[in-house]
Amino acid sequence: MGQRKRGFGQITKLPSGRYRARYTGPDGQRHSPRYTFDTALDAEAWLTAERRLLADPDREWTPPKQRENADRAPLTFGAYAEKWLAGRSLEVRTRAHYRNLLDQHLLPAFEDRPLRRITHDDVVEWHATTLLDRPTLRSHAYGLLRTILGSAEKADLIAKNPAYVRGAGNAKRVKRIKPATLPELEAIVTAMPDRYKTMTLLAAWCGLRFGELAELRRGDVNTRDGVLHVRRGVVRADGATIVKRPKSDAGVRDVAIPPHLLPMVREHLLQHAEAGKDGLLFPAKGGGHLAPSSLYRVFYRARDAAGRPDLRWHDLRHTGAVLAAQTGATLAELMARLGHSTPGAALRYQHAAQGRDMEIARKLSALVGGADA
Which of the following is catalytic: 72, 173, 224, 349?
349
Catalytic residue status for 196: no
Catalytic residue status for 268: no
Q: Which long-range contacts (CB under 8 A, 24 or more apart) does 213-217 make?
A: 213/281, 213/282, 214/280, 214/282, 214/289, 214/290, 215/243, 215/280, 215/289, 216/280, 216/281, 216/282, 217/274, 217/277, 217/278, 217/279, 217/280, 217/281
Among the listed residues 268, 300, 298, the one whose alpha carbon sits nearest the alpha carbon of residue 283: 268
Which of the following is catalytic: 20, 105, 209, 318?
209
Instruction: Compute φ and ψ for 235, nearest 5 degrees.
Output: -130, 160
Which of the following is catalytic: 134, 340, 356, 362?
340
Q: How far apart are CA 203 and CA 93, in angstroms?
A: 22
Q: Between 262-271 and 194-205, two packed helices, what is the crossing angle to 10 degrees? A: 140
Q: How far apart are CA 342 and CA 349, in angstroms?
A: 9
Catalytic residue status for 317: yes
Which of the following is catalytic: 127, 272, 317, 337?
317
Catalytic residue status for 349: yes
Catalytic residue status for 120: no
Q: How many CB atoms lie within 10 A of CB 352?
A: 18
Which of the following is catalytic: 120, 314, 348, 351?
314
Looking at the annotation, which residues are catalytic? Answer: 209, 314, 317, 340, 349
